Amino acid sequence: MRKGSSVSEKKQEPSVWDGFKAFLMRGNVVDLAVAVVIGAAFTNIVNSLVKGVINPLVGAFGTKDLDKYSSCLRNPCTFDEATGTATSGIPIMWGTVLSATLTFVITAAVVYFLMVLPMSKYLARHAARQKLKENTQELIEVTELEVLKQIRDELVAQRGSGHGER
């Protein structure tokens, strides 16, 4: 040990703030934040579709508000109209679940048909073009090799036939 040196020399560790800044500056964190914001905006569109189109279609067979569909587990079920909560009985609010399920199915369908399916088709076409480009490159290399072999064979044949005529 050197004289005058500290017994416990510590390595400088990055501060918590530096680590947090590095975490935030990663590209995938920014992409995730953008996805969350777009997802929240998209949720409003889907909710509007369910409330403006799906609920009235379902309302043609019953009530326009799916949240009002319920069953009573223990009678009598009565509701306070102001708050919408049950004052007696045990209601099963299956209309709310149906509404949420329809919202999920519509969201999943829109995401699949408008985002996932076109992107997968694009990626498949891109991969096919890339493979075709690689195969063409290999074909060109093989063709060049074959041409060089033919030239060599012609030169050997000319040289061989030329020696006999002298």
The pLDDT tens digits for 35-63 are: 888 888 888 887 787 778 877 777 777 76
Domain containing residue 60: CATH number: 1.10.1200.120
Residue 116 belongs to a domain: yes
Amino acid at 84: G
pLDDT, residue 162, reads 59
Region of residue 4 (left: phi > 0; alpha: psi -120 to 50; beta: else): left
Region of residue 89 (left: phi > 0; alpha: psi -120 to 50; beta: else): left
Residue 95 belongs to a domain: yes
Residue 70 belongs to a domain: yes
pLDDT, residue 45, reads 83
Residue 153 belongs to a domain: yes
Q: Kindly report the length of the chain.
A: 166
In whole angstroms, give the CA distance from residue 90 to residue 81.
Answer: 16
pTM for the model: 0.50
Residue 164 belongs to a domain: no
Residue 4 belongs to a domain: no
| Domains contained in the chain, number | 1
Residue 139 belongs to a domain: yes
| Tens-place pLDDT, residues 81-126 | 777 676 777 888 888 888 888 878 877 887 788 888 998 899 999 9
Rg of the chain over all Cα atoms, to the nearest angstrom? 36
Nearest Cα to Cα of residue 99 among 147, 62, 126: 62
The whole domain housing 141 covers 16-158
Nearest Cα to Cα of residue 66 among 100, 104, 108, 106: 100
Residue 1 belongs to a domain: no
According to the 3-state scheme, what is the secondary structure of the chain?
Answer: CCCCCCCCCCCCCCCHHHHHHHHHCCHHHHHHHHHHHHHHHHHHHHHHHHHHHHHHHHHCCCCCCHHHCCEEEEEEEEECCCCCCEEEEEEECHHHHHHHHHHHHHHHHHHHHHHHHHHHHHHHHHHHHHHHHHHHHHHHHHHHHHHHHHHHHHHHHHHHHHHHHC
